[in-house]
Structure 1
């Protein structure tokens, strides 16, 4: 459904009554969510928007976003969770696994076929036709797609695992995912099912019943074929034995470490987990350019991604009970500074990266490479924008055809300004039209008269200055422009390129808003610009359709933010000033006494 770009019709903040109704609808649709989880998903005071969109097929969809991340979407009064929500609550829906290469096809709009579904040793979850399900990748419990089962579990097995299994609605890496912060799935260890536990218990009982000398010497004898990867299958028995022995030793050391950790109370363990994720996020995720940073965004987008596999942050289970109290404690230790920049909204405004606790923190093994890879991807996204190369062009019009015929050009021929200049100079010199008494003037012959002079001027003007001759010629040619985006073929369009238009509008209660149009023409994502602006100025930003323009949207942000816009467009995005209209409306900075 979201494999192609969709059109945003409206983007508004949700009202209090609608917020309560949405929470009730979510509770009815997903009864497994606890009251705390519902409040976390649909918060009481944090920013929550409702967005009306049209898919590429014209379907009307309602999307609910929390801090710009889509958390739910609604089609024909049916609610569906997005992958961002499923990463927080991975067991919300019954899950079916597939192979990693299949994800690319699902993101491209394909449905999940049964031959691509991996049959686990414990068997499939029991679902009926029409049941909403999650799709995961083998070895990771974090869902990557949401779909509807086209048949029941019994029918899937009866069909020999052939045919279409799930109608996929939304996936990781589709356009709905791109509408959010574009974060990547966490690594969550698969749950141990009851059948697997029972099987391991039976194996232990059988082993205890046997004599020590009667155990098999072949380590492959009791290895389930379903647990072997392709790489392990190709390995020899000796290599596999060594690998299994190393894993056993590692498991033993992990168990000892877990036993030591288990001596602490659950509350102490949750406090330790919060401290670990807090310092990990400060050290690897947050940059100085991200500040000021909303405290809720810091928790959701940074700390949650630093949580180890198989564990989940829950502030209610800690001694702090509220995230604001946890941050107050960190502020008392002078690690960071939190301020209320807007009423009721707290932000992290300063971080002491040289603090001994931050410096002493060591990133857990296994997270280092993943963090580096994610940081490089985020840097690629930040540095991925290159200002387009814009070249004004001109098309030969019907009126000016006689003037350009001698140079071999026809109606519609596309020329640059320098080519037009050379053609005019050659025409004048070839026809000996330079004024002999004053070489700054050109004599107007019959063709120049018809092409460049108005009827009222034809009898009065016999000579033209060179500059006047060239400017008249360019004015009467058809305007075109060529835009070349980085790494793409040049695009030629009719007319002059519209500048990025910045205007200030007055709203109710004498409030001002800044409206930015035409960002798409310069290869800028309006949603991305809105997110960056909102983070920088700590003001509400929305995306709305441009009145009277098809498939065009505008960014609207509270207050007069032209100073911030100018810095972003001119310095960060390196756009020429001549293509930005409205910078003169910036508020005058008051002088400090």
Structure 2
């Protein structure tokens, strides 16, 4: 729900006492366990769930779902409500910030650490991604709230709603293989909702037990895939997660690597990036495949299925061992193309029985299915094996690099355009009376908070009707229209009246940069496509200066991108004092210009396009 920034977010406003009490009662009704909790660090539970300075704002998510967001006085999200046409069906949901204070507030499902990384890309949690072996699955009904834990940690990393009942997930153990969604994800650690808050470090007691896997390791339950070696290529199509709309599964990188080596696979699901074809097909001899698979086997037995975790992982069926351990841990390069069907053994069971004869493992045939029982960790070949970089490690590293680059780009290019107000002669005395600067710029939430503080301090609320405000001399001058005589006004009109006696501005600025305040409304960037002399199409761009974009630098970027000549001239009709200029580039370049503007962080609603060529045609 918050994979991308919200499509719209109204201004935040402080909650009235009655609204705050109503919200607190709703939270306690939804999560009754809070009523019996002891204070945390001498702070009452009610003061934690609905602290002083609580604010709210309406929002619409990028998938056009409406809701309400509740934050503390510093803007850290605490709760959000998913709106419904039926108010009784609206759901109040704690954010990760709140869940870290109450980690046992909602029952949870546990998944592997690499799956969490993929959930952050906007995927829903699938049943194969839920750890069911030696882990309790809560008895939740479909649609109930559920949190997501990473294996070995006690603090939730996300929250969502059950796509199926907990009984259905628990009963999937041993299916061939388990399929379908487990959880519809609403909010995750490090998503756009999380980014709105203060982003603290992970709690100091993050882990509550011995963590046997690293963050970039891949493991799965021994029920995730149940098929023999002949059906391996079909099992690889099943994944731990899916895209947000459930159109198609999203597979782990190691699974994609395995599938690319299967000659029978002709296509890749649309939910993942397509695998580029190799210019020259890598052809491995049977001897090379045997060697690479054996090295992958040694890597798994030495670094993955160790003595420390053997009791938890073994026994394990052969197909799970191969698809979830051997394939992801092949070496990078040519070895990544190794596949059991291209080996001299051809079949998985035949290969593992050969390995068993080498005294590396012990297997047992149970009702026609080969089961891995134990490992000989003292085998000389295991002791001398040094290891290698695996295809799964390479994919994880690449994903982290790409994620870091995307985040850095997002942080650097985020442009904020906000409304602001500055006192005029009528309202200046009010700001001086409250100890604020009469030359400052104020947002609407700040003005509302300032009014509430002043009214409370001066005790201006009407004792008989709290909705009415009695005006003193200072507040009367700040709220009244010219020539208007006022003794009192409704409380909900105070902020609108104050804004009417202020000068309207907009602030425009990039993150971590001093914003620029512009009087009046924001004028969009104009892109005009027209036919010039000689019936040649040209594209003109103006209004860049207001968005802190250097015209000369932008012109050079467009010239290189479009491979066209440009001309930078003074903007016709603009005051010479403003030094405004426009860029003209040859050809119909609207798409290229728009793409560069969006890349620089200019919101799309501030880009206007006028096509004059259509009229002349």
Calculate the TM-score normalised by the size of structure 2.
0.37
Structure with the greater alpha carbon radius of gyration: 1
Question: Which TM-score applies when normalising by structure 1?
Answer: 0.38
* Higher helix content, 1 or 2: 1
